A and B are shown apart, each in its own frame.
Chain A
Amino acid sequence: MGLRQRLMHLCLPRDIATLVLVGTMFAYAPFTDAHHSYPPLLDENGEEVIRVFEGSIELFRLLNPHSAMIINVTNENGVLEDWLIEMSASFSLSREGWSDDTLKSGDRVAIAVLASPSPNRGRLRAVLVHGETEEEPGRLLVAYGIRGDTPVMRRLRERLSTCPDIETRLDRTACFSVDADALQALQREFPGPMGYVMP
């Protein structure tokens, strides 16, 4: 048996194994990620309720199994409220470049949260952290409901540059730099409160 024939002979079982493997993979669905239980608040159509606030960050901590921030917001009726906003685990976020200083006490924010049955608790969908001055660009950090290969993520990637210090290697979050011109353009194109991160 020549070398070529011998190699072909050796390769055949591997080819069959590959076919079997591919066939097996088609018989299975890809596993999607899941988290510890979160009770989403659903509307009458079964869609998750998204609430949008203007406010400021009081406290942010990278924690396991869920990071957390307390925000001080003004609700739709003009009443001040304190909310607990949950995020991914510290061990995930820190691998994407987050630290306890990524969000600072006093940061002015617009925030979209996935509401829960609890009246002052939700998950972070997106937070726009305004720059400290008019000239300083803000940062748009996105998480639940947007992260991964989603229409909203593709929309943002097409229009904004990413932050240098956050690397979306685990698809937990993404960060975009947003200057005043970019924000105005987004607001024109996607009207409504934080319309640019809405489904």
Chain B
Amino acid sequence: MTESAEERRLKMSPLVTFFLVVGLFAHAPVFGQVEIADPTPVFSGIYVGARDFVKPGTYPLTAAGERTLSAHNPYVGDPRDLDCLEEPMPQLILWGVAVMEISHEDDAVVMKVERGATIRTIHLDVTEPPAGQPNTARGYAVGRWEEDVLSVETTHLLGGVLFAFEGYPVSSNARFTERYWRNPGENHLQMELVVYDPVNYTQPVTFEREWTWSPEEQVQDYNCFSLELDESGPVDIDELRRRLEQQ
């Protein structure tokens, strides 16, 4: 007895349904998860750092750190705190009013910070700084993607203070780690900065800040004009007047 076409169709139907369902699960995103086309998210854009953010209530200073802090004169300031220099790390990501543009290049993430017209490059094509890397104000930053989190490690710094005016010290052997990520459904960037500096701190020092996605903003030209910070005597107003009028 031969099967009719209708009988064969009815027999095959559960099998077809099974493969159809398996095929769907194999290709469709699982319910509740966001499909990520590119494993490295693009953070490109302009952000404004939240004015209020968190830092340690107390700094776990070592004895050496206490001595350095006590010796710091905030009104003389850190030698890097000169008006028209590019901002050092980590000050450039800790200023109260901070506008930053992030762009992705082939092998790097580039941060352009308005204050000081500062450019910072986070290298993605290496796992450690090159041999002979000199110590600089922003050090050498190596980044890598950990799923959708950009992790950065910065070394080879000049040392000085974490933040001008407050005077908490940081040594040239310090190491900074940063993590940047977006919470689900948001374009804002979350930042965690951890300072590892056994010379000055008994424990890592952590800062946390949100960077608000601000496409309406732009990184303005800095056009720096130094009023000079020498406070030892009266301001030469005639000289200042001349410089300002030439500006």
Binding site for B on A (CB under 8 A): 10, 24-25, 27-31, 33-39, 58-59, 61, 63-66, 68, 70, 82-84, 86, 89-92, 94, 116-121, 170-172
A31 touches B237 (CB 8 A): no
Which residues in B have their C-beta under 8 angstroms from that of A10? 32
A61 and B247 CA atoms in complex are apart in Å by 10
Knowing A29-B57, A34-B163, A34-B165 touch, does A59 contact B77 (C-beta < 8 A)? no
A10 and B240 CA atoms in complex are apart in Å by 64
Which one of A35, A39, A84, A92 lies within 8 Å of B227 (CB-CB)? A84
Knowing A29-B57, A59-B241 touch, does A91 contact B220 (C-beta < 8 A)? yes
Which residues in B have their C-beta under 8 angstroms from that of A68? 225, 227, 240, 244
Which one of A25, A61, A65 lies within 8 Å of B83 (CB-CB)? A65
Knowing A30-B52, A37-B165 touch, does A119 contact B234 (C-beta < 8 A)? yes
A120 touches B227 (CB 8 A): no
A37 touches B247 (CB 8 A): no
16 more CB-based (< 8 A) A-B contacts, given A31-B209, A90-B223 = A25-B54, A28-B54, A29-B54, A30-B54, A31-B207, A33-B96, A33-B97, A34-B166, A35-B165, A37-B77, A59-B241, A65-B83, A65-B115, A65-B224, A70-B241, A120-B235
Q: How many A-B residue pairs have CB under 8 A?
A: 117
Number of B positions contacting A (CB below 8 A): 47
Which residues in A have their C-beta under 8 angstroms from that of B165? 34-37
Which residues in A have their C-beta under 8 angstroms from that of B207? 31
A89 and B98 CA atoms in complex are apart in Å by 11
A63 touches B76 (CB 8 A): no
Knowing A59-B244, A70-B240, A91-B115 touch, does A118 contact B231 (C-beta < 8 A)? yes
